[in-house]
A = this chain, B = another copy of it.
Amino acid sequence: MRIGELARRAGVSTRTLRYYESRGLLPTRREVNGYRVYDDGDLRLVEQIRTLQDFGFGLEETRPFVECLRAGHPTGDSCPASLDVYRGKLAELDTLIDELRAVRHEVGAQLARAESDLPDPPDPLCQMKG
């Protein structure tokens, strides 16, 4: 399989695949003419990367998973290093969510205060008259 087919099957662009390769996440096997050649294992690598990316992982954070798969393990998270990344991400998410909730609370309070200072323009069809 060449880069175009892998791209189609993985649902990414060829540019993305070349970028992953430049980051050392994909192997660099070539045909005689210089074309990149891939197999189903490489498809799994890309799928693993995409899954994690969709979760908001940075590319570097996917590296342990990729290396785990390339080492022959059944899944990308069959290795301790991957689990550490999971744990780190959980902590990061917890922190972030807490911060966002605090901000949400703040903004909500500001909105409430501002709304009470400046009551919104009354409905013209249902205006209070006295």
Contact = CB atoms under 8 A, between A and B. Distances in A.
10 contacts: A55-B103, A56-B100, A79-B118, A80-B121, A82-B114, A86-B111, A93-B103, A96-B100, A97-B101, A97-B104
B97 A110 contact: no
Nearest to A75: B114
Given A90-B104, A93-B100, A94-B104, A114 B78 contact: yes
A124 B101 CA distance: 41
A97 B100 contact: yes
Chain A binding surface, main DSSP class: helix
A126 B37 CA distance: 48
A59 interface: no
B94 A107 contact: no
